[in-house]
A and B are shown apart, each in its own frame.
Chain A
Amino acid sequence: MFAVNSETEANPTPGGATPETSRAQIETRDLHLHYGPVHVLKGISFDISRHTVTALIGPSGCGKSSYIRCLNRMNDFIGGTRVEGQILIEGADICGPGVDVIDLRRRVGMVFQKPNPFPMSVYDNVAYGPRLFGEKNRDVLDGIVRKSLEAAALWDEVRDRLPASGTGLSGGQQQRLCIARAIATAPDILLMDEPTSALDPMSTARIEELVRDLRRSFTVVIVTHNMQQAARIADRTAFFLLGELVEYDDTLKIFTSPDDKRTEDYITGRFG
């Protein structure tokens, strides 16, 4: 059931370039996560291919957010966390002690549920990451800011107000600013934890459209409670329940004829 999504199924990268290897970009092997005495993830194993959108669905507390927080070691901030098993990104284990976590977080960006722009200008929000990684050249920074805002479909709306505060933008614009900020460090993978749950339907539609576009340049892993959203934007969908990965398959399959009865019961609203 947990077949590797072959690269031929994934969307081609811009210009038709083929990925360097046929190996999955994110390989999760028997991952267990404990928060103190609580066993949060119980033996998760699956592969995520490059340039795909993968949706993680499941009822609250099923472990989907905990899982994506493993992908950029965000759980390190929580005391008493213990991780067993492996997550290989581009073949290298990211769970071990010798990992450069700062570099990992540059390569694996994250967008949160509530838009959280820094209390600084639109420009500085986007330039923050590149500056942190040592970029000082103003022309280079200008280029990165513009490119990132364009990729986040926000440039046209803010090009004349780059010095204005990021917190003055609308909710949907703020979330796109956060996406631009995440993109600015040129990550390979974008994690999104319910990025539209605090937004109105129009802003949600813009973000969804954006996610589909972002797939050309990034691998997107998105947690969502909205199953229609998963059906609209994801290539593959993983259903988590009580810390286990119940089913992982093509999105269409998951939402029309899943193999596991628990998946069927969840998507048809019998629980959750």
Chain B
Amino acid sequence: MAETGTRKQLEADMSDLKRMVLRLGMMSGDALSRAVRALEKGDASPARAVIDGDDELDDLTERIGEGCMAFTARHQPLGQDLRTVVSIIHIATDLERVGDYGVNISRTVLGLEDRPLLKPLIDIPRMAELLLEMLNRALVAFDVGDAETARKLFIMDEQIDALEKQVLRELITMVLERTERLEQAFMLLNVARTLERAGDHLTNIAERVVYMYTGKMARASDYKTPRGRQ
């Protein structure tokens, strides 16, 4: 069955939208990882760059939203095309939020004002590394239509949650030893909480990708280890 000209135009427009989403994903991931590295090294200048770059991220998100509206008006999509364009709107919002978290962490870095950290960071950079791995996989799954890879993100998010708990435990111990550590402990805990939320947004993206390509709603909670068995 030969494809029509309209279909070719639709696919070209869809491909443009997807490229914008991939670019947004890379920018968000970059913001997050640069922010965490700035925290690790106590370096204010990359943190400032992340904050300055946020407008570009917001603009791109807005352009994706407009692109989705134009696409819908032009093609009146149905089936997988409809699922994809609606998913793109959600995915772009999730990605933008991940970028915002990079900005939040960068502000924390600036708030430290060159004071040394309580201790060298271990688990927070691991969380960031794992998040980047999740993000990359999510983007690949989104691009090539791999629902199976997307589902694997659900398990990775569990590791993020476990690391956040680990950070909490460690910080509580440190504060109990010396209460003057409280302020910075709160701050670091906030960073860990922010990264944990970023994991939730990436999980949302994975759920969307599964829906886009299979038409079935996937819930991350269906794949996670039941509580008490971790």
Interface positions of A (Cβ within 8 A of B): 227-228, 231, 255-258, 263-265, 267-271
Which residues on the B side are within 8 Å of A227 (C-beta)?
A: 78
B86 nearest in chain A by CB position: A256
Asked, given contacts A268-B7, A269-B7, A270-B7, whether A256 binds B1 with beta carbons under 8 Å apart, the answer is no
B2 in the interface, Cβ–Cβ < 8 Å?
yes
Question: Inside 8 A of A257's CB, which chain B residues have their CB?
Answer: 79-80, 83, 214-216
Is the beta-carbon distance between B80 and A269 smaller than 8 angstroms? Answer: no
A242 smallest CB distance to B (angstroms): 12
Query: What's the A-B contact tally at a CB cutoff of 8 Å?
Result: 44
A231 surroundings in chain B (CB, below 8 A): 78
Main secondary structure of the interface of A (DSSP, over half): helix
Determine if B1 and A271 form an interchain contact, defined as CB atoms under 8 angstroms apart.
yes
Nearest CB of A to B148, in Å: 18
Residue B77 is within 8 A (CB to CB) of chain A in the complex: yes
- Beyond A264-B79, A268-B10, 5 additional pairs, beta carbon < 8 A: A257-B79, A258-B79, A258-B215, A268-B80, A269-B6
| Bound CA–CA A227/B81 (angstroms) | 14
Contacts of A269 in B (CB 8 A): 4, 6-7, 10
B56 shortest CB reach to chain A, Å? 33
Q: Is B83 within 8 A of A228, CB to CB?
A: no
Q: By CB atoms of chain A within 10 A, which of B3, B79, B82 has the most?
A: B79
Q: List 30 A-B contacts (CB under 8 A).
A: A227-B78, A228-B76, A231-B78, A255-B78, A255-B79, A255-B82, A256-B78, A256-B79, A256-B82, A256-B83, A256-B215, A257-B79, A257-B80, A257-B215, A264-B79, A264-B80, A265-B1, A267-B79, A268-B7, A268-B10, A268-B78, A268-B79, A268-B81, A269-B4, A269-B7, A269-B10, A270-B4, A270-B7, A271-B2, A271-B3
Quote the shortest CB–CB distance from A217 to chain B (angstroms). 30
The reply to whether A270 and B3 contact each other, CB–CB distance below 8 Å, is yes
Chain B stretch 63-80: residues in CB contact (< 8 A) with chain A: 76-80
Within the assembled complex, what's the spacing in Å between the Cα atoms of A267 and B80?
Answer: 9
> A255 to B215, alpha carbons, bound, how many Å?
11
Residues of B within 8 A of A228 (CB): 76
Let me know if B77 and A268 touch, CB within 8 A.
yes
B83 contacts which chain A residues (CB < 8 A)?
Answer: 256-257
A271 to B10: give the CA distance in the assembly, Å. Answer: 13
Min distance, Cβ A165 to any Cβ of chain B, angstroms = 38
Roughly how many angstroms separate A257 CA and B6 CA in the complex, as a whole number?
Answer: 21
Interchain CA distance A265-B78 in the complex, whole Å: 10
Min CB distance B8 to A, Å, is 10
Residue of B nearest to A259 (CB): B215
The reply to whether B78 and A267 contact each other, CB–CB distance below 8 Å, is: yes
Min CB–CB distance A199 → chain B (angstroms)? 19
Binary flags per residue of B1-20, CB closer than 8 Å to A gives 1, else 0:
11110110010000000000
Report the bound CA distance from A65 to B79 in whole Å. 24
Bound form: Cα–Cα A49–B223 in Å: 38
Query: Which 7 A-B pairs rank lowest in CB-CB distance, beginning with the nearest?
Result: A257-B215, A271-B1, A267-B78, A268-B79, A267-B79, A264-B79, A255-B78
**Among B1, B82, B215, B216, which residue has its beta carbon within 8 angstroms of that of A270?**
B1
The distance from the CB of B45 to the nearest CB of chain A, in whole angstroms, is: 48
A257 to B76, CA, bound (A): 15
A155 to B1, CA, bound (A): 47
Closest to A269 in B: B7
How distant is the Cα of A231 from the Cα of B78 in the complex, in angstroms? 10
Contacts of A263 in B (CB 8 A): 79
- Of A228, A255, A268, most buried by chain B (CB within 10 Å of CB) is A268
